[in-house]
Amino acid sequence: MVKMDKNRFIFLGVCFLLVFVYSCGKKTLPIPLPERKVQVPVTLIEEARVTPGGIILKWKYPEVSHKGKTYPFCFVIQKANIPWKGLGCIDCPELPWEESKCISPDYPDPAIRLDHELLWKDENVSSHRAYRYRIVAYDVEKRRPLSYGKPLDVRVLDFPPMIKKASVKAGKEGILVKWFIPKEKAKSVIKNGISFAIERRSTNGPWQRIDTGGYRESTFLDGEVKPGEVYEYRITPYYQVGRVSIWGKPYIAGRVRAEDKILPPPPKTVWVVPSNKGLEVHWLEVSVPVGGYYVYRKDPDGTIVRLTQTPLKHPPFIDNKVKKNEVYSYAVSSASPNPPYKEGLVSSWVEIRNVFFK
């Protein structure tokens, strides 16, 4: 029995030796690695802005992981002339596209890069013509298209009426801007739902838009100004048609110096959230120095009550003295940085029904 075990051991040793000798010097094929998937950017034209100087397209480009120092993709803008009544045509034949050069976020010229957005202007357009645009993402290394964005059709419609006159006036609440459109043009303003973009710049500073979009009044109070600073304002009329906006000519109002003592502006955004503790009042804090905030409540009978006797440093404020299923409105004002904490104007009122039951 021992002899058989010894023979078996010798046999296994000889087999191992033969396998080792046979495989010596042989090359084995490497195990194939899974192919790395390329992150294909999907490019959608977010907005087309029709201006007297041309059509401006805006789109975002995504952050992608890449080993090289340059962005791995570039973008080609394709453009085609289409019939005025052919917008959104599904069964239209293939169009003869014109193509721009491939625009890289690293070298965007002639486009403009803003954060992760690109703006490209097409100056070769005419009034009362229609165009179709789409963006194609290209692989820079392989020089081949990766994805085709969804087309956007743009009509060059009539521009909004021009602003003929504007005025600026400094006061304790800030700077009041007023503008005027001729009476004969007022009907078209109402018909097309004209909005106004308000921009501000200080001495030697860049233009900054200060409205929140969709502003349709003819006066604007700018409370977020620095005391004693000189400002200039620019107002541009526009109207929106889907993702396409039609912009008129901007009007630049005269310069004005803010007063040395200005009451702080109210928060631009206020919202209320029901909770098991009451109604939580939230707001976006203003960008200028303040001593805090006062919170107001309007009861169902119309009575207005100030809920904070001293300025509250930061939001939120919880109002636990409310009744179930009643409708309340809230507004917030800002206090000056130093005692006696004088108030500026209150924000817009926000209405809510207390529907949170314990």
Residue 296 belongs to a domain: yes
Which of residues 144 and 333 earns the better pLDDT score? 333
Joined together, the tokens standing for residue 295 give 């919170």
Within the chain, residue ranges assigned H as helices are 2-23, 186-192
Contact predicate 324/357, CB 8 Å? yes
Residues 104 and 138 in one domain: yes
At residue 59 the predicted structure's pLDDT band, cuts being 50, 70 and 90, is very high
Residues 245 and 227 in one domain: yes
At residue 37 the predicted structure's pLDDT band, cuts being 50, 70 and 90, is low
Contact predicate 339/258, CB 8 Å? no
What is the arithmetic mean of pLDDT over 232-250? 93
What pLDDT was estimated at residue 187?
63
Amino acid residing at 72 = P
Q: Domain count of the chain?
A: 3
Residues 243 and 275 in one domain: no
Q: Give every CB contact of residue 228 below 8 A, 6+ residues apart in sequence.
A: 257, 258, 259, 260
Given a cut of 70, whether residue 88 has pLDDT beyond it is no
CA distances to 220, 272, 299, 353 from 170, in Å: 12, 33, 34, 39
What pLDDT was estimated at residue 147?
87
Q: Give strand pairing partners of 256.
A: 231
* Sequential DSSP letters for 195-255: EEEEEEEETTPPPEE-S-S----SEEEE----TT-EEEEEEEEEEEETTEEEE---EEPPP
Residues 253 and 323 in one domain: no
Domain boundary among 103, 129, 155: 155
Residue 176 belongs to a domain: yes
What pLDDT was estimated at residue 33?
46
What is the arithmetic mean of pLDDT over 182-194? 67
Highest mean pLDDT among 91-95, 148-152, 184-188: 148-152
What is the arithmetic mean of pLDDT over 266-289? 92
Residue 136 belongs to a domain: yes
The torsion defined by the Cα of 14, 16, 17 and 18, in degrees rounded to 10, comes to 90
Residue in 260, 259, 238 with CA at minimum distance from that of residue 249: 238
What pLDDT was estimated at residue 40?
65
The torsion defined by the Cα of 302, 308, 310 and 311, in degrees rounded to 10, comes to -100
Q: Give every CB contact of residue 262 below 8 A, 6+ residues apart in sequence.
A: 172, 173, 174, 223, 225, 227
At residue 170 the predicted structure's pLDDT band, cuts being 50, 70 and 90, is very high
Strand segments, DSSP code E, in 130-210 are 130-139, 144-148, 152-155, 165-171, 174-180, 195-202, 208-209
What CATH number is associated with residue 63?
2.60.40.10
Residue 29 belongs to a domain: no
Contact predicate 175/254, CB 8 Å? no
Residue 37 belongs to a domain: no
Residues 100 and 169 in one domain: no
Q: Which helix (H) or strand (E) holds 50?
A: strand 45-51
What is the arithmetic mean of pLDDT over 170-177? 93
Residues 137 and 184 in one domain: no
Residues 189 and 222 in one domain: yes
Residue 338 belongs to a domain: yes
Residues 111 and 170 in one domain: no
Task: Write out the residue range of the structural domain in which residue 199 sits.
Answer: 165-257
Residues 73 and 149 in one domain: yes
Domain boundary among 121, 136, 155: 155
Helix and strand totals (H; E) in the chain: 2, 26
Domain boundary among 100, 135, 155: 155
Q: Give every CB contact of residue 150 below 8 A, 6+ residues apart in sequence.
A: 44, 45, 134
What pLDDT was estimated at residue 123?
95
Joined together, the tokens standing for residue 156 give 């060059």
N-terminal to C-terminal alpha carbon distance within the chain: 86
Residues 95 and 174 in one domain: no
Residue 3 belongs to a domain: no
* Sequential DSSP letters for 68-92: SSS-SEEEEEEEEEE-TT-TT-SSP
Query: How far from the centroid of its chain's Cα atoms is residue 251's Cα?
Result: 24
At residue 48 the predicted structure's pLDDT band, cuts being 50, 70 and 90, is very high
Residues 55 and 134 in one domain: yes
Residue 230 belongs to a domain: yes
Residues 143 and 53 in one domain: yes
Contact predicate 50/156, CB 8 Å? yes
